[in-house]
Amino acid sequence: MICANAMPALILPLVDAATHWPARGALVGLDLGTKTIGVAVSDPDRRLATGVETISRKAFKQDAARLLAIAAERKAVGFVLGLPINMDGSEGPRAQSTRAFARNLAGLTALPIGLWDERLSTAAVERELIGMDVSRAKRAEVIDEHAAIFILQGALDRLANLRQG
């Protein structure tokens, strides 16, 4: 489902992107690592984020094709990308890389892309997995998918708070 001639997707901060998504419909959350992409999806009512898979990064077109297939399978209406902002609020190379990925993905889909501050998401997930006594090897396998869940759930919670006023 790569839309070569569609209008490029909007890339906006989460709260602004939400105004371009229909009231219902799943969102796909992504944690972009250098070697993997953690993927999570929400339910259509956007209450709960669930892990889907961890994609081993290959070439952008292959990775994007898998992400767009997941979005189509889940009837998603948008993407939420974790934006790794530095603790001082500045954007370093990883944030720039995420923005570049978002621009490239936007050229292949019309689904609006929301950027969500993911500061400390991987560290929080790592602590949680350690607390659950998950082995180092198993943590390495699931960390990105769990970080995607953490990112998407944080975004869903923020959107729910906005709806409640």
pLDDT, tens digit, 9 for 90 and up, residues 108-130: 999 999 999 887 666 777 788 78
At 139 the pLDDT is 77
**H or E segment to which residue 125 belongs:** helix 121-131
Q: 69 in a domain, yes or no?
A: yes
Q: 1 in a domain, yes or no?
A: no
pLDDT digit string, tens, across residues 38-73: 999 999 999 999 999 999 999 999 999 999 999 999
pLDDT band at 95; cut points 50, 70, 90 = very high
**Structural domain for 112, as ranges:** 11-164
Tokens standing for residue 58: 């290959």
pTM for the whole thing? Answer: 0.90
Q: 5 in a domain, yes or no?
A: no
Q: 33 in a domain, yes or no?
A: yes
CATH code of the domain in which 33 resides = 3.30.420.140
Q: 93 in a domain, yes or no?
A: yes
Could you give the number of structural domains in the chain? 1
Q: 113 in a domain, yes or no?
A: yes
Q: 112 in a domain, yes or no?
A: yes
